[in-house]
Amino acid sequence: NHVRSLDEDEARQKRANRLNRVDSK
């Protein structure tokens, strides 16, 4: 289930990145 963990981590990072982008604006 390592791949699943990585996939979830990536999705979480993408979401955080999106939030950070809005915050930066």
Per-residue pLDDT at 25: 60
How far is C-alpha 10 from the chain's CA centre?
Answer: 5
Torsion of the alpha carbons at 13, 10, 18 and 16, rounded to the nearest 10: -20
Q: For 9-20, write each residue's pLDDT tens digit.
A: 999 999 998 887
Confidence of residue 21 (pLDDT cuts 50, 70, 90): confident
High-pLDDT (> 90) share of the chain, %: 40
Round to whole Å and give the CA distance between 25 and 8.
26
User: For residues 8 and 11, what is the distance between their CA atoms, to the nearest angstrom?
Assistant: 5
**Residues 16, 8: Cα–Cα separation, whole Å:** 12
Instruction: Please name the residue that has the structure tokens 């990145």.
Output: 17
Q: What is the pLDDT of residue 14?
A: 93
- Domain locations in the chain? 1-25
